[in-house]
Structure 1
Amino acid sequence: MAWIFQGNPNRFDIDDYLSRYSQLIYWRTNRYIKEISVGDPVFIWRAGSDAGAVAVGRVVEEPTQAQEVKHPEALGDDLWVADELSPTEFKTGIQLSEVRLSTDEGMVARSIAKDDVTLASSTIITVPSGTVFHLSDDEMAALIHLWGAPIDIFPAAGVVEGKQQLRAHYARERSSRLRRDKLSAFRKEHGSLFCEICGFSASAHHPKPFAERAYEVHHRNPLAAAATPVRTTLNDLAVLCANCHRAVHANSHVIENYEELAKLYASRR
């Protein structure tokens, strides 16, 4: 079975949660508790004025009371705006595959879903109040089509072929909010943006409107290397130019690659 888990940003800081807990999240589950199973595909849906599907993943922990979940450090209970976490409410553990918090990143806006002939009659469109929504096979296929998800996320469903997509190591890192916050903090601290490895300064090569796009945000400790879910802080990130970022991820030795490249460029200065 497939599901949509919806959250209201006026009650919970969804964008911050999805940006910083990019390995594992827990979602309030007030219905379908006995039907949700490990392995079920999930779309995360943001309600409100900027509504739509903003993340995709799979169930890795069936609905469990918050006080008994395997990784309480990933509950994000400090992000509630209008409610407080109840230790007895049920939470479903979801391993995220990709986060897209804006239309530029490829989120599926509610207006797009509403225009789809299949999704137009789905409950997330017609009766959007609630937290958990079941997706029929046809609805799941339609939403996958709009998302353009790689087949390894939904092996039981067909996907559109021929669409050019970049599925690289940084797919989950490039949340617009996390990237924006890091670049803003870096600029405030150093006065300008530059690559922390090679020192490349885009402002010397590109017109101002394009200079910031020359930088990417890198996790100093790869997400895959973490033994347990961790919250990403700005200190966990580095500002790199696109060339250095790709070089760091040229193979699985990401930390060693970073250190080697940093030493190499430091010796040239």
Structure 2
Amino acid sequence: MQYITQTITGADGSNAQFIGYVIDNSPEIDEQRTRPAVLILPGGGYEMTSDREAEPIALRFVGAGYHAFILRYSTFPSLYPTALLQAAAAMQLIRAHASQWHVKADAICVLGFSAGGHLAANLSTTASDDVLQANGFQPNEVRPNGLMLSYPVISSGEFAHRGSFDHLLGEQKDNPQMLQQLSLEQHINSVTPPIFVWHTLTDTAVPVENTLMLISACRAAGVSIEAHIFPEGDHGLSLGTWETSHNKQQVVPAVQPWFDLAVHWLGRTLL
């Protein structure tokens, strides 16, 4: 396996860390094999990027036969659209190296947790198209082929995780035009890729209504979505196992099936 690290510099001079876990081909199996890939965007309220939602997730995907990449994007005091442009650059980097890294270039999914889910959905929908074009990206060239979301921040309205938008927008946090642009349930349409999402009913940080609104928007737009609402567990559970737990409250057997469900969805969606 190749372990890849690169720095992606933001427009504000901040640095994002791009990390790749690339599975080697073997002459004993298939020297020409290409694999789908997952780009992981950890959460952290646009204030940090969580370790619990980074390498442990990547290693599980490698074990399932997927190349895995992590983007530790810039967070506060870096503001919008710094992280978005870094995510676009990460997608561009993966596709540019698809041959070298044996990546199936039309089978790249982005997985976002919490605020990382907001970033992933922003990159995946047309909400970001104008900003991407203004900064030299062709939106369709950096849009992923699938979108996976774990307890995502979606809406900037009544059920918003206000801290995420405060850290993302800084002094513009009350700007209604910016908030509407970044309320992503309003930007689901025919170019939105297929979606897998999970949440818990008892999430006290990012209310489950964020996911329910996403489901409704996808249904209205005819976008394929697989959604799993689990009955218990608070926010930020990652895998819900001891491996990713900070305390025993983060070990929640009810949510642990999400990873296998996501892998099955990937197999049906990307392969």
Q: Give the TM-score band, short-chain normalised.
A: under 0.3
TM-score (norm. length: structure 1): 0.28
Structure of greater Rg: 1
TM-score (norm. length: structure 2): 0.28
